[in-house]
Structures are given as structure tokens and as C-alpha cells.
Structure 1
Amino acid sequence: MNPHPNGSDISFSSPQTPAEGDVHVHPTAARTAFPKGIEVDLGSGATTYTDSEIRARFVDRAAQVVLEDGKISVKKIETGYEFKTERVVPKVGLMLIGLGGNNGSTLVASILANKHNISWGTKDGRQSPNYIGSLVRASTLRLGVDPAGKDVNIPFSDVLPMVHPNDFVLGGWDISAMPLDQAMARSKVLEFDLQRQVAPLMKDFVPLPSVYYPDFIAANQEDRADNVLPGADKQVHLEKIRQDIKDFKASNGLDKVVVFWTANTERYSEIIPGVNDTSENLLAAIAKSHDEVSPSTLFAVASVLEGCPFINGAPQNTCVPGLIKLAEEKKAFIGGDDLKSGQTKVKSVLAEFLVNAGIKPLAVSSYNHLGNNDGKNLSSQAQFKSKEISKSSVIDDMVESNQLLYKRKSEMGPGAKKGEHPDHLVVIKYVPTVGDSKRAIDEYVSELFCGGRNTMNIFNQCEDSLLATPLILDLAILAELLTRITSPTTSEEPFQPLYSVLSLLSYMLKAPIVKEGTAVVNSLARQRSGLEQFLKACLGLENGTDLLLESRVW
């Protein structure tokens, strides 16, 4: 490990683990039997394999619908694609902004526990490490049916070659200089016996100095800010972050680095023409140290300029229009916003269920209280506003899908800004006593048959960081995978990277950013289905259906 200027280590790579075959390894942490992904034989040469790549041809079938003069016209659309996936998984670094926070310290400790297969004592007995809660590591994908008609499901991580979380080289920044063993203890997330065992592996690691602009986070965070880059010159800060990434990559012999914002929620940045609306203006604003350039946007710009995928795991509008333009120009990758770990994920499922069942939600009221540092920061109104915005849009597309239940904008009368929508309230309160064990209470009031009313209440108690950490891993794993998938835009052009905004990551995010002009999908089922179908398309596989025609016809 190489020292950085403040005397702490620039990166963290844990000692080699014993051979995993020597002890029991949880299935979610086990090495795949298909390190280069599964191989499918389509019998037509549509998918080919070499040691280095998978090439697959795929036909996307859609329906274009036109409503005109009271008639519905449907035209079948078929578009051919070819995908190339690099099969060799590179050596990947994961740099976290907010490394010493609850999520960052929990992620490092949990990877160490899995890598060394460290079990620990609890009041219920011995607990083994695992990656439960991870879509990639702990869920399966339906590949098809066997000759007897039974479903064949395989681990999600087997579909295409993906980095194992144990293999991430970890590093990052934090405004607090606290070594990670102490940061882990401060967070109060993990069981004491696990902390005791992983602390010796974490004690020598101190985060890199980070960017601290007090205007963007709550004033109550000032006492933690003892590890910050000096001065207020944002161009200097940008160059320092870029150098940190370069040094981290070089000193660890990495092929790729993924950068992830898991630090404090910031206030929203004002979108100002001439400041952050284009790539040129954004870079010029950084050079002038403009007040509306946030720390998270600075890290995102540095990542894009270094060719590293950047994921925003917080609700603020990090990905301003100028950043998106810059990513497009550099063919770099960005994703966001805000980890979707508990209450919002349930809300998207329940709202879709009600609307699809023909029941009309009239009001959704969401109340949270938590006592970790995230809750402390969100007790400031400007930072809460960012969270409120990201939580509030989650049911929009479900409501817009059913004009039988909800009036369209055109039916709402003069001056209406949008169509009919349920009342939607979000409240977050800081209660130090409960620590990381967040309480989420939701009330759904819906209209039933002939004017009836239904009220459902859900009480959810969860460990906030233990839900969030697997999502960080999923996002980092999938972001890296997507950098290895290319496709030609036309038959005459060479293979090109995917589009810069990684909307395929929407399943893990509250307020997904998408390509300009395309619809935001918040339905959890559709988000998951879209990701599954894309991975299958990279193998040339048709998307499975639930028609089950063999059981419907004679």
C-alpha cells in the first residue's frame, strides 16, 4: 500500500484468503462454476464464443401503436442487434466517496468477512458471512424450461462473466480521517464479534482527503470534517481527485476503477444556463470555482475524465445536464440516483399491485425515522428536499399507465400542470436512539368498488446499511460488466460502447436517470425484467414468456 500526502494509505487490498474449499462458503459468496459465463448452443451460429469474447445476434420485437380518429393501429417492429461481451473479467478497483461512513465501512468489513470466511457469534448462534440482499449474488434468473416443461433457473451471476465482490480492490475518500476500524465501530451496524475480528484488517486504512463545501451538506456535519482538501479552488480539487484515481489504479495494478458516491446527501444544485447546462460550461464553471458546482458533481467529472464509471448513490442532482453531455462526449458511464433499498422498493411494488388490480390509490403517506449520520444530515431542510424529490416520483409511471382510474392532464381543467395523482407525503425524522435501525411506516388509502375505502398500513424495521451495501456491490458489478459490452449502431460501423447513462441499473435506484427523451420506468418488475432481458440478449436468447400455450390449448 502506498502512502498519500496525509500519511495514510491510498488503497486497501485485504490479505489473501485461505482456499475457499477448505471451509464452508455460503452459496451467495461461492465462486461460479462459469467464470466466463454460461455457453448456450442456439444451433444457428447466432451466438459464438472464443476465449476472449461472446458475440450474439438478437432481434428485438416491439409494437408501435398509433391512436388516430378513434382507431388503434399497431405495427410490429423488428430491430436486429449484435452484442459483443468481453469474457475476461479484469482486476477492478472500487473507490467510495464516503468510505468512512456507515455504508462504506460496512461494505469493507463485509467483503473482508466473506473473503476470509469469518463467522461470528450472535445470541442466536454462529453467523456465516454472505451476500444476501444482492440481486447479482443472491438471486436467480429463469433461463427457460427443461424437456419436461419445468423452469430452469440459474444464478444471476452466471449469465455473463462478472467480477466477484471478494476481488474488488477497495479505496476511497472521506471528510473524516477516522481509520476504518474506528469508523466501523462509530457506525454501530455490525455485530461486535464480527467487528472484533475484522478490525485488525481495517485499522491501518485511512480514507483519502475529500472535498468539503459546507454549503452543500448540513451544518451538523462540520465536526466530522477533519480530512478535507485545502482551499476553495475547484479546479485544483478536480485535478487532485483525478490524480488520486490514477495513483490508486497504478499502485494496485488495476485494469478498471468504479467510483461510487455513498457520502452525505447534498442539497440540489441550481441548473443555470451558462454554468452547468453543457460540458464546456460545466468545465468552465469548475475552473471559476462556481458556487453551484457540488462536491459530487466534481467527483463525477473527475471519474468521466478518467474513463471510470461513476454511480451516484444519493438523491441530489449530481448528474447535471453538463455532466451527462460530458459523459456522452467521452463515451464514459454514469448512473444514479439514490439507492432504492427498503421503503421505496416496497412502495413501487405495492402501488403497481393496486393500480394493476383496478384499485385506485388516493393517498400514500410515508414516514421514516432513523438515527445514523444519514438521518442527522437529512434533518437539515435543504438536504431533506433532495431525498423528498427522489422518493416522490416512484409511483408516477404506474399512475400514468391507467387513464381509467386517473384523469389525464387534458381532463384536469385550465392551468393543470399534470394529470390526476394520489396525494403523496414523505417525512423523515432524526432519532439518534435507533441508530442504523430505520423505521418506515406507510399508509395507503385507496378507493374501492362503488365508493368504498381501503386503508393499508405497513411497518418496516430494517438495518439501513445492511440493505444498502449489497446494492452498492450490485451497481458496481453491473456497471463494470456494462463497460465490456459493445454493439455497432449500424451494420457498417465498428462496435461502440453502450449509451453513457446506465438506465439498466434502475432496479437498484430510486430516481433513475435515463436518456433524454425516453420514459423513466419506476415499476420494479419492469426494471428487473429489462435487466434480465438485456443480459439474455447478450447471449442471443429470446425473452421467455408466461403464455404457457402448451397448457392453454388442446
Structure 2
Amino acid sequence: TMAEPFLVESPNVTYSKDFIEAKYTYSTVHVCKENGVTKVRPCSTRFTFRTGRQVPRLGVMLVGWGGNNGTTVTAAVLANKLGLSWMTKSGRKTANYYGSLLQASTVCLGTGPSGDVYVPFRDLLPMVHPNDIVFDGRWDTGGPPQRRGAPRSAWVTPRCVPPGWDISSLNLAEAMKRAEVLEWALQEQLRPHMEKMKPRASIYIPEFIAANQEERADNVLRGSMAEQVEQIRRDIRDFKESRGVDKVIVLWTANTERFCDIVPGLNDTADNLLRAIERGLEVSPSTLFAVASILEGCAYINGSPQNTFVPGAVELAAQRRVFIGGDDFKSGQTKLKSVLVDFLVGAGLKTKSIVSYNHLGNNDGKNLSAPQQFRSKEISKSNVVDDTVQANPVLYGPQDKPDHCVVIKYVPYVGDSKRALDEYTSEIMMGGTNTIVIHNTCEDSLLASPIILDLAILTELCQRITFCTEADPDFQGFHSVLSILAFLCKAPLVPEGTPVVNALFRQRSCIENILRYPGGAP
């Protein structure tokens, strides 16, 4: 059992060998209008949360493992696990998890004799540590046997078990070099470990990504669409059994795809989607991976902006009670936008124009230079201010919202160091205007990698949390569409009929509250 960094002394919290059980009263307000009068009625619901204390051995399989994000997050975990440091022109750097909400951000636990007491998010509940995530394709020294539960006599020589897929066959050391993200002195230390890692063959359907990606596609699956999905399922089972992990989470960090049309009879229901796969009709690679993962009972997270989760995929996840989440990692410009617009509108300024310009030179930028792929990204970036605007009817009418323009250009020279230029123009008192211009240099993959880790760790934790109420005493889990991940995603996926929240600090509060209540922290 993992020892908690703190214990809550309360009659509402009990600790057993396997669970933390906490009772919590959730207070809210119901607002209605009767005879022209707005009435406010406080109401409350009594919850009992039960959280499993046994932290599992977690495997993460990345789609696009050989890309900039995949190689960077793998290298980061290895560097942290090995305690590496390296020299740069500005001094010695040491491996860390800066940028991770769970590992590098804190929450106030309460007040002590010396003032407020803060703890990292990771200490609120038992959760997987990034160093313990299995996705480096290697056997740990003294690791588990090839077949879990087998006697020592049945152990076989460990082999490299690739935990991810990529349409490029480069080993991860060469892919890391190609990405040009990490300092060379660090790459040299990681090369002996990463050159042994080679991704599994992936699904490649050329019409879903830019034509300029064809030159990388030398590691692709053959056969019918249904056969490729079955191969992905075998890959997941092979990785889980061979690496001795208790759970697998699959995460898409591959190319942005074009949007798919939602077509009745094709992808509008789970049955229709499965039939479409059997018949080889139009289904995107990211959706095929989602279906394979869901059928294997593995949570699936979409880190790109396309509409992977067509209605049929969402229905399939709900039927199988498997978590899905997304869409599109929120790392730089969009994260700042969700804060700044919240500040401007919250201060009573009427933001009228938002213009966002980006240029970048990594493979993501190359793929986004194609119009259909750019359109997917434009949609995910553009919706980030909608809920903030809708929350202020004093400033904005029903059809009133800011002009919002997003531009992305491919400039190979700047590589992974994306430049973002934003202009926010707002109406102020008595017909005046206020313009804010921000230049932001985002090292794309170094910002996205800790988000990948947080997404996987939060998703696994949510699999161990159940709850019930006095009105519904049977314990149940969260909805299959895991909206708690909204803080980490540009275009948060939420259950049908649920309002989308994009304001960053409201999203952070959601995570904080959901981690506090099951642990009994007030």
C-alpha cells in the first residue's frame, strides 16, 4: 500500500488497506424564474467517494511514438529515471518534470503554525509517478517475467517490446535526433537506451494527412481496415502481457488529420461504425486506434484536433465503460488565450478582436501547411473563448462574439521552437479601445510532453475512483467521456448536453476539487 503524504483526521474519512472512503456534501444553487422573479434555491447532494489505494503498473502506448512529442516524452522519462544532467552554454541542467500540473504545481492543503501549507497535486491521492510509467520498450533490471505469474523456470530472455506505433521506421534515437528538440549533450547520454527502441507498424491512410508526410511512411500496416484494427488489438495485448503491466492507456500524438463528416449509417452509432470498419469505408486512423483501444478495454486519449470521437466511437466507449478524452494538447498560445480572455472579459472589457499568428518548423507545422489539416487545428484553437463570452450577457448579446482569426505558417528553420503572436483588441469605457500584443516563443514538444504524462496519470487515477449518493447508493465510476481532462486540452471533450468550460482556472479548480474530495481534504 502506498503511504499517503498526509492523513485526514475526520469522521467523514476512513482508510482501509485497499480504499480511501470519504463523505462529502456538494452544495450548489438552482436558479429559476417564476412570475418574472428570479429565484435562487440552495441545494446539496451527499456523496461517498471510494478511491483504490493500490497504484498499478501502468503502460502507455503512443500513436506517433517516433514524432517530436513521442521521442521527447520518452527521453524525458528516461532522463528523470536515470537522474541525468548535462551541460549547456548557460550551465548544467538536470532532468525534471516542469510543466506538469501533477508533478510541479501545488495546492493549499490548509493553514499550519507557520502559515499556509502547500503540497504537490500528486500528493492529494495515490497516483502513478511518471518514472514508473512503462513506455520505454525496455525491461527494467530485475523486471517481471515475459508471462505474468509464470514460474522462474518459464522466464524467457527479455526482448524489446515496442510500446507505440509510428508510420516512420526510425529507431527512437534517430527520431530524437531528427526532432532537434533536446540538447545534444543529453541526446548522447540517451542514445544507447533509445537506439534499441523501434516503433510498431502503424495505420496509414494518406488522404487523412498532408501529402508531404508520404516520405516518412515506411512502417505501415497492410491488409483490410478490419485486419489492421485487429493487429492494433494484438499489439496492445502483446505489450500488456510481455511488459507485465496492469493497465494500458493509448494516446494519439501523431499527425493532425482532416475532419471526418458525420454520416448517418456510417459513424453515427457504435454498430454502424463497426460495420463501416468491416466494409472498409471512410474511418480515420485515429478513430480506428480509438475503436481498437476501446474494444481492448483501454482508455484512449486524442492529443490532436481532429474529430476522432465521432458519435459511434463515443457510444462504443459508453457501452464498454471505457474512458476517452481529448482533444488536442493545450500547451502554449491557446493556454495563454484562455487565461487572457477570461481576465479581459472578467474585468468588464469587451474583447472585440483576437488575431493569433503562429509559425513553426517541426513536422506538425509541415503537416498543418495542408489546408484540410490546418482547418482541424483552426477549429480547436478558435472555440477556446466561447464559454467566457457567453458567461457575460452584459457585454455580449446572444449572437455577439469577438472576431477570431488564426493563422499558422510553416517555417522549417525555427524547428520545434514555435513563435506565436497575438493581438487582443477590446472596447473600453466611453468608446475607447485597448490593444494588447503578446509575442510568445513556445518550445512545442517540451510543453506537450508533461501534458502527455498528466493525461495518462489522471486517466488512470479516475479508473480507481467510484462514488455514490444517498439517492443512488450503488457505487459507479465517472462518465466515459472524461471531462476532467479539459485543463490539458484545447477543445475539451464533454458528455453530450454538458457545457464546455475553457476558462483555464475553472478547469484547474475542477481537477483540484475532484482530487480533494475523494481524499477527504476540505
Shorter-chain TM-score tier = over 0.9
Aligned counterpart for 1:478 among listed residues 455, 458, 465: 458
Task: Show the counterpart of 2:68.
Answer: 102
CA contact (8 A) 2:26 2:47 kept: yes
Task: Show the counterpart of 2:37.
Answer: 71
Task: Show the counterpart of 1:540.
Answer: 520
Aligned counterpart for 2:491 among listed residues 489, 511, 514: 511
Task: Show the counterpart of 1:236.
Answer: 227
Question: Residue 537 and residue 318 in structure 1: after superposition, are their counterparts in 2 closer, same or farther (change >3 A)?
Answer: same
Q: Distance in 2 between matches of 1:360 and 1:62?
A: 29
Aligned counterpart for 2:83 among listed residues 117, 125, 135: 117
Q: Structure 1 runs of 4+ off > 4 angstroms?
A: 489-493
Code of the residue aligned with 2:108 in structure 1: it is R
Q: Distance in 2 between matches of 1:390 and 1:234?
A: 28
Aligned counterpart for 1:346 among listed residues 330, 336, 341: 336
Q: Distance in 2 between matches of 1:490 and 1:328?
A: 24
SS of 1:495's partner is: coil
Code of the residue aligned with 1:526 in structure 2: it is R
CA contact (8 A) 1:86 1:485 kept: yes
Code of the residue aligned with 2:168 in structure 1: it is S
1:180-191 paired onto structure 2 within 5 Å? 180-191=172-183
Aligned counterpart for 1:61 among listed residues 15, 27, 33: 27
SS of 1:528's partner is: helix
Question: Is 1:436 aligned with 2:416?
Answer: yes
Aligned counterpart for 2:434 among listed residues 442, 451, 454: 454
1:193-204 paired onto structure 2 within 5 Å? 193-204=185-196
Question: Residue 499 and residue 490 in structure 1: after superposition, are their counterparts in 2 closer, same or farther (change >3 A)?
Answer: farther
Aligned-residue RMSD, C-alpha: 1.3
Task: Show the counterpart of 1:274.
Answer: 265
Q: Distance in 2 between matches of 1:97 and 1:88?
A: 28
Deviation string, structure 1 residues 278-311 (Cα, Å, up to 9, x no partner): 11111111111112x1000011111111111110
Task: Show the counterpart of 1:43.
Answer: 10
Deviation string, structure 1 residues 192-212 (Cα, Å, up to 9, x no partner): 000011000000111000000
Question: Is 1:424 aligned with 2:404?
Answer: yes
Deviation string, structure 1 residues 120-168 (Cα, Å, up to 9, x no partner): 11001111000000001000011222256x3221111000011111111
Deviation string, structure 1 residues 7-65 (Cα, Å, up to 9, x no partner): xxxxxxxxxxxxxxxxxxxxxxxxxxx94434433432x11111211111111100011
Instruction: Give the aligned length.
Output: 495
Structure 2 residues without counterparts, runs of 5 or longer: 136-162
1:350-389 paired onto structure 2 within 5 Å? 350-389=340-379
Q: Distance in 1 between matches of 2:392 and 2:324?
A: 32
Structure 1 residue 322 displacement after superposition: 0.8
Code of the residue aligned with 1:246 in structure 2: it is R
Question: Is 1:154 aligned with 2:145?
Answer: no
Structure 1 residue 82 displacement after superposition: 1.2
Deviation string, structure 1 residues 492-522 (Cα, Å, up to 9, x no partner): 6542222101100100000001011110000
Q: Distance in 1 between matches of 2:204 and 2:273?
A: 19
SS of 1:344's partner is: helix
Deviation string, structure 1 residues 192-238 (Cα, Å, up to 9, x no partner): 0000110000001110000000010000000000000013x111111
Structure 1 residues without counterparts, runs of 5 or longer: 1-33, 409-418, 543-554
Task: Show the counterpart of 2:311.
Answer: 321
Code of the residue aligned with 1:442 in structure 2: it is D
Q: Distance in 2 between matches of 1:173 and 1:274?
A: 30
SS of 1:79's partner is: strand
Task: Show the counterpart of 1:394.
Answer: 384
Code of the residue aligned with 2:124 in structure 1: it is V
Code of the residue aligned with 1:347 in structure 2: it is K
- The percent of aligned pairs where both chains have the same amino acid is 57
Structure 1 residue 77 displacement after superposition: 1.3
SS of 1:274's partner is: coil
SS of 1:65's partner is: strand
Deviation string, structure 1 residues 76-121 (Cα, Å, up to 9, x no partner): 1111111111111110101000000000001111111100011111
SS of 2:103's partner is: helix
SS of 1:461's partner is: strand
Q: Distance in 2 between matches of 1:429 and 1:240?
A: 36
Q: Distance in 1 between matches of 2:208 and 2:515?
A: 38
Code of the residue aligned with 2:24 in structure 1: it is F
Aligned counterpart for 1:249 among listed residues 231, 240, 243: 240
Question: Residue 143 and residue 193 in structure 1: after superposition, are their counterparts in 2 closer, same or farther (change >3 A)?
Answer: same
Code of the residue aligned with 1:455 in structure 2: it is T
Structure 1 residue 407 displacement after superposition: 1.1
Q: Distance in 1 between matches of 2:471 and 2:353?
A: 50
Code of the residue aligned with 1:183 in structure 2: it is A
Once structures 1 and 2 are overlaid, which stretch shifts more, 137-146 or 213-222?
Answer: 137-146
* TM-score, structure 2 normalization: 0.93
CA contact (8 A) 2:46 2:470 kept: no
Code of the residue aligned with 2:251 in structure 1: it is F
Q: Distance in 2 between matches of 1:180 and 1:381?
A: 29
SS of 1:208's partner is: coil
Question: Residue 226 and residue 525 in structure 1: after superposition, are their counterparts in 2 closer, same or farther (change >3 A)?
Answer: same
* TM-score, structure 1 normalization: 0.88
Code of the residue aligned with 2:134 in structure 1: it is V
Q: Distance in 2 between matches of 1:375 and 1:51?
A: 49
Question: Is 1:226 aligned with 2:218?
Answer: yes
Aligned counterpart for 2:446 among listed residues 433, 447, 466: 466
Q: Distance in 1 between matches of 2:319 and 2:505?
A: 32
Q: Distance in 2 between matches of 1:489 and 1:245?
A: 36
Code of the residue aligned with 1:373 in structure 2: it is N
